[in-house]
Amino acid sequence: MKKITKLLAVVLCFALIAAFAACAGKTNNESTAPDASDGASTPDATVNIGDFDFTKTGEFTAENTKFVLGATGPLTGDASSYGISVQKGATLAVEEINAKGGVNGKEIEFVMLDDEADATKAGNAYDQLFEQGMQISLGSVTSGSCEQFASRTAEDGVFAITPSASAANVIAASDTMFRICFGDPDQGVLAAEELTKNYSNIGAIYDNSDPYSSGIYDAFKAKMAELGTEYTEQTFDKENNKDFSTQVEALKDCDVIFMPIYYTQAGLIAKACQAKGVNAVLYGCDGFDGIKGQLEGADVSNKIMYITPFDAAAEDEKTKAFVDAFGGKYDGEIPDQFAADAYDAVYVLATAMEQIGVDNVTVAPDAIGEALVATLTSSSFQYTGVTGGMTWDSTGACTKVPVVVELN
Amino acid sequence: MSVLFDGLSLGAIYAMIALGYTMVYGIAKMLNFAHGDIIMVGAYAIYTTMVFWGKGLWVAVIGAAVLCTLMGILMEKLAYKPLRGASPLAVLITAIGVSYLLQSLAQLIFGVTPRPVNLGSFGSVEILGASIPVSTVLTLVIGAVLMAGLTLFVNKTNTGRAMQAVSEDRGAAQLMGVNVNFIIMITFAIGSALAAAASVFYLMQIPLVEPLLGSMPGIKAFTAAVIGGIGSIPGAMIGGVMLGVIEKICLSIDAIKDYTTAIEFGLLILILLVRPIGLLGKKRREKV
């Protein structure tokens, strides 16, 4: 019995990791989010700063000497790689901003507490942060924690923008909860446009038993119908996700195959293509770079491209500067998507705060929160960071244009 | 055309596994449910030799064959031999236990993450206007050779005839001087070696190892063995190839591809209803 319990524990641990990987890395379908429009968050062309009272001091913020930026995330435990990435990216951004004189002349203090990707711990960490004078926040790193975090921000009016918590419930739980990471449908739409433009014989394969895969595919399908592009569709499901010879056979004449799927299956499809001599371009979505490990030593010659919010090898100045600064601070480490999203999140907050001109470091969280919501949702606000150009709607969802990169 | 070849090669894999089930059933009168997991053991053996030790394919294949054979013998000695003469149900439960043991061991040693393994690339050839991967051709040819060899072995050698004798009547065979324990051990060894061969061809089609890799092919192959008539060697071959071809044809037709597994097991039910002993099963009069 003891052995079975142990085994069960091991299996559960793995399941947990898988769950975190899924919820932190992937974005859920952003459908009808609940009505988030209160008076302040109605999108306006211009935000009237006079509407907000920044002299109001909060219960716990009276002693602040800097703006306090709070966040929680897994800094220990199984999902800690995500939390540590976010911590590194955000710390770098805060240091850069402070070195340049801070926001409206005032510095930012960044406090990140460990929640071990546990919702209850995230709730407690929120209370601790709030009592330490937190005025603005990056929310939590993982979706479960961030949902808990969001429900507290709804009570206190604290503005939070999460780099990575992608489940729809997170931003639905609070009017002041926003996010940086993008929604799956955006990738499907982009893929449909790009493929229609560049290829004539298009194929697509997706996992119809997986919400992430079907979420992207449904948007792709709708956009393809709108564009009037014909393509060949193939599916698989979790019962039959190993042997792809039949699907590859059906797609063998395609120039390109759109694959909104996880990298394990993508690797198997690539190898099936190689075995059958199919030379189509393999076109994946975020996280597709994981296919590299699957194809090590395999003789796959297909060109592999994928959509991603962040490409550390990109040539644009912003990305280069970020990758250099990150490597300089953390022993040559290359930033991942989480670090990049966190870096952008801090800059979005700083940019919005500069726009509203708040310079009172003892300002009450709800006062600054209301102003930030109004600023981010105003139609004139947009921010271009290392993860691309971004705008927000009143649900807190981010619209950004992903980039397409080629895997070497 | 291509679908047919894919089906034949999948069928050859099923047939090789089904042979293990059917031989053990025919001779030891037990269902060795851990047989599917022997494929997994073979696959991990290949993975370890090729990825960890950087050895070539042939070393890996021989290593897998040796390990699987030893594993089969060990399994028989430790788990099944002490139960000789026990009720069939006890043996069946033990087999299921061995199956879980092997799966859990693999999870403990290698973790649950599926790992990619590359046997190398073989390219493809033109056959009758269709481009067929060489790995498929290899599976078919070697599969056919192995099965022909097995048939010859069973029919023409003394050990093979002894196996048939044990299968017919264990007690009588023993009285005639056949070492029943030895024959059963040989049966397990041959079945497991065939499973090792199956694991090589499986990895050629699906280059990914994971602890539960053997369970689905194992169940499919068991189905094939029952369809062909469990206990019958040609039956297992026919059942395996039939099931593989049906699976691939179903998967290639859009309207029914989601029901492929249901169709396969539906076929099993149908055959059991119409001909409970399977296609080539022998009728056996129960002695009262």
User: In chain A, pLDDT over 70 holds for what percent of residues?
Assistant: 87
Give just the sign of the alpha carbon dihedral B268, A207, B250, B248.
Answer: negative
Say if B123 is an interface residue toward chain A (CB within 8 Å). yes
A275 → closest Cβ in B10, B124, B252: B124
Residue A186 has pLDDT above 80, yes or no: no
Say what the pLDDT of residue A49 is.
61
Say what the pLDDT of residue A222 is.
92
Secondary element (H or E) of residue A250: helix A245-250
Pairwise CA distance, residues A273 & A124, whole Å: 51
Say what the pLDDT of residue A101 is.
92
B251–A246 CB contact, under 8 Å: yes
ipTM reported for the complex, 2 dp = 0.73
Say if B6 is an interface residue toward chain A (CB within 8 Å). yes
Max mean pLDDT range (A70-84, A265-279, A361-375, B163-177): A361-375
Say what the pLDDT of residue A261 is.
87
| Domains of chain A: residue spans and CATH | 36-182+316-401 (3.40.50.2300), 184-308 (3.40.50.2300)
Domain-wise residue ranges, chain B: 2-142+187-274
Say what the pLDDT of residue A35 is.
40
Under the banding of pLDDT at 50, 70 and 90, the label for residue A110 is: very high
Say what the pLDDT of residue A258 is.
94
Test mutation, A233, A234, A242, A253, chain B, max B CBs within 10 A: A242
| Nearest-CA distance A266 → chain B (Å) | 11
Average model confidence (pLDDT) across chain A:
83
End-to-end CA distance of chain B: 51
A246 → closest Cβ in B107, B118, B248: B248
Under the banding of pLDDT at 50, 70 and 90, the label for residue A282 is: very high
Under the banding of pLDDT at 50, 70 and 90, the label for residue A3 is: low
Write the CA distances from B9 to A269, B3, B57, integer angstroms. 18, 10, 20
| Nearest-CA distance B195 → chain A (Å) | 19
Q: Residue A176's closest CA among A161, A159, A156?
A: A159
Pairwise CA distance, residues B131 & B2, whole Å: 7
pTM exceeding the 0.95 threshold for the entire prediction: no
**Which residues of chain B carry a pLDDT beneath 70?**
121, 283-288
Test mutation, A13, A265, A271, A294, chain B, max B CBs within 10 A: A271
Spatial neighbors of B185 by CB under 8 A, at least 6 apart, are: B73, B76, B77
Query: What tokens does A101 get?
Result: 């004189």
Instruction: State mean pLDDT over A12-26.
Output: 47
